[in-house]
Amino acid sequence: MSDSVVDILKSVGAVMTDDHFVYTSGKHGDVYINKDAVYPHTQKVAQIGKLFAQHCKDMDIDTVAAPALGGIILSQWTAYYLSELKGKEVAGVYAEKVANNMGEKQFAFTRGYDQYIKGKKVLVIEDLANTGGSVKKIVDVVREAGGNVVVVGVMVNRSPDSVNSKMMGAPFFALDVLKVGVWDEKDLPAEIAKRPINTKVGHGKQYLQEKGLL
């Protein structure tokens, strides 16, 4: 099996190109990584978890933490292989979005998982980094819960120029990089703008509905 995460994703059709996508950020582009397409393939996800573990095998880590939902699977496999490599139990936990006192959604460690964070050395992982915002939120939540962020890792970094150790305030790595063009709608190249917006993945359907075009 390939050690390239992008190759693993391509093998299950998770990397989509030459189309017109709207991303979560509201920006547009012609490449989309459908990360959810890899999760049903357990051997391939296990391989990704193993790659995370191998990268961090020489680091002192007690817990692997990630955001729900996709991060749940990655944290489990990564913790499993780290436990094997280190000969000790490494916990795998996740943060989920809950409503605060103002009714706003924010990440938190629930279900008693905070006990695996407080006073522990933590590896924070995420599947994709587009703007890096979601993984940075987990870094912050780990610190708020009393954990020590040893290192931050992502499966694929799409924005290596801006998503880095400086942004995270901690050592950072990516298993693979797939740098793609991302534009505001008004700056979108004509070749991409003329393509119909993909409504099957990303936020294309929601975007068109908000515009009254669907």
pLDDT band for 87, please (50, 70, 90 cuts): very high
Work out the pLDDT band at 2, boundaries 50, 70, 90. low
* Domain over 5-210 is classified CATH 3.40.50.2020: yes
CA distance 136 to 124: 9
- Of the two residues 131 and 138, the one the predictor is more confident about is 138
Contact 143, 125 (CB under 8 A): no
Token duo for residue 88 = 């000790």
- Average pLDDT of the residues of the chain: 92
Cα 151 to Cα 44: distance, rounded to the nearest angstrom: 23
The string of DSSP letters for 142-198 reads HHHTT-EEEEEEEEEES-TTTSSHHHHTS-EEEEEE-----B-GGG--HHHHTSPPP
Please tell me the number of Cα atoms within 13 Å of 70 on its side-chain side: 20
pLDDT of residue 22: 93
The tens digit of pLDDT for each residue in 3-25 reads 799 999 999 999 999 999 998 77
- pTM of this prediction? 0.88
The HSE-up count of residue 2 (CA atoms within 13 Å, CB side) is 11
pLDDT over 60 at 163, yes or no: yes
b/e per residue 172-193 (b: at least 16 CB within 10 A): bebbbebebebeeeeebeeebe
Segments making up each domain of the chain, as ranges: 5-210
- The tens digit of pLDDT for each residue in 50-76 reads 999 999 999 999 999 999 988 899 999
C-alpha 187/C-alpha 206 separation (Å) is 20
Confidence of residue 166 (pLDDT cuts 50, 70, 90): very high
Answer yes or no: are the C-beta atoms of 79 and 160 closer than 8 Å: no
Residue 1 clears pLDDT 60, i.e. is over it: no
CA distance 100 to 30: 36
Whether 151 contacts 171, CB under 8 Å: yes
Q: 82: left (phi > 0), else alpha (psi -120 to 50), else beta?
A: alpha
The pLDDT tens digits of the residues spanning 132-151 come to 888 999 999 999 999 999 99
